[in-house]
Amino acid sequence: AVLTHKAIGNQLYCIFINNGLLRKGEAEEVQKRFKDNFKIDLIYVDASERFLKRLKGVSEPETKRKVVGEEFIRVFEEKAKDIGKVEYLLQGTLYPDIIESISLEGPSSKIKSHHNVGGLPEEMKLKVLEPLKYLFKDEVRKVAKKLKFPKEVIWRQPFPGPGLSIRVIGSADKEKLDILREADEIIKQEIKKNNLYKKVWQSFGILLPIKTVGVMGDIRTYDSVLALRIVNSSDGMTADWVKISYKILGEISNRIINDVKGINRVVYDISSKPPATIEWE
């Protein structure tokens, strides 16, 4: 968006869609960043209800991604119609998105559809432009440094387009998303507190579709399990799980179990990519 704004100025319309699948405080943070740092007008659309309605009862990961991808396009098309004479949709697609979504060249098979590649609907009214599609995340960060972006933006951890919908295993509803959102915020706070945020590639939680028995004081609980995922990578194509200290793991687990209603157990994912992917879905 910033690069394109430098090139074509007010011919660019930036639309920020709140799909109800964002991290805690993310919608407010993005709007403030565009206003204060980038000086770019942002059209804000709260489409959370329509996204959650489309996702109701959807549990299959590929279907989730396609639902989110299609709904994004439909909202963009509606706003483009309101603006008038809009021909192109600019996307921040990166090379790993393409590699994992389609077999571009050679024998590599599709791993998962990314909402902005394999998740796009076949019928679209806008032509898609992807100026970053042959760049990896580390290369994009180099561009951001050249543009003198705030460090908080440059080192922001990758976040999937389908958002928290693919971090809730099974169907994602508002209640589950709110639980995960609170747990995710605690993970971020603890990782930052221990000066690990810039040292790891991603750190996040996955809400599992299983419940376990626990005890809080003298009361029996039967609540959800959260899987904690912390990995290191340079480009997102391969990743290793981080050998984080037991002390930090304990602090994260204790805070989540004590402060987030609906979770009574935390487990740590020690799988590398490959064979596992970074995201569970």
- The answer for 9, left when phi > 0, alpha when psi is -120 to 50, beta otherwise, is left
Q: What is the DSSP letter of 156?
A: P
Cα–Cα–Cα angle for 17, 22, 102, rounded to 5 degrees = 80
| N-term to C-term CA, the chain | 28
Amino acid 268: pLDDT: 99
Q: Which amino acid is at 10?
A: N
State the pairing for strand pair 240-241/219-232.
antiparallel
Distance CA 216, CA 263 (A): 11
Amino acid 100: pLDDT: 75
Identify the CA nearest to 65 among candidates 56, 79, 55.
55
Amino acid 104: pLDDT: 44
Amino acid 119: pLDDT: 59
Distance CA 207, CA 227 (A): 6
Amino acid 125: pLDDT: 85
What are the C-alpha distances in Å from 120 to residues 37, 65, 73, 79, 134? 31, 9, 7, 17, 18
Contact between residue 80 and residue 125 where contact means Cβ atoms under 8 Å apart = yes
Identify the CA nearest to 180 among candidates 165, 202, 158.
165
Question: Domain-by-domain residue ranges, the chain?
Answer: 2-154, 167-268
Per-residue pLDDT tens listing for the chain (281 residues) = 899 999 999 999 999 999 999 999 999 999 999 999 999 999 999 999 999 999 999 999 999 999 999 999 999 999 999 999 999 999 989 998 888 766 545 555 556 555 555 557 777 888 999 999 999 999 999 999 999 999 999 999 999 999 999 999 999 999 999 999 999 999 999 999 999 999 999 999 999 999 999 999 899 999 999 999 999 999 899 999 999 999 999 999 999 999 999 999 999 999 999 999 999 99
Amino acid 114: pLDDT: 54
Give 278's contacts (C-beta < 8 A, 6+ positions apart): 201, 202, 229, 231, 233, 236, 239
205 forms beta bridges with 228
Fold entry, domain 2-154:
Rossmann fold (3.40.50)
- Residue range 167-268 forms a domain whose CATH class is alpha beta
Query: What sign does the dihedral 267-273-276-281 (CA atoms) show?
Result: positive
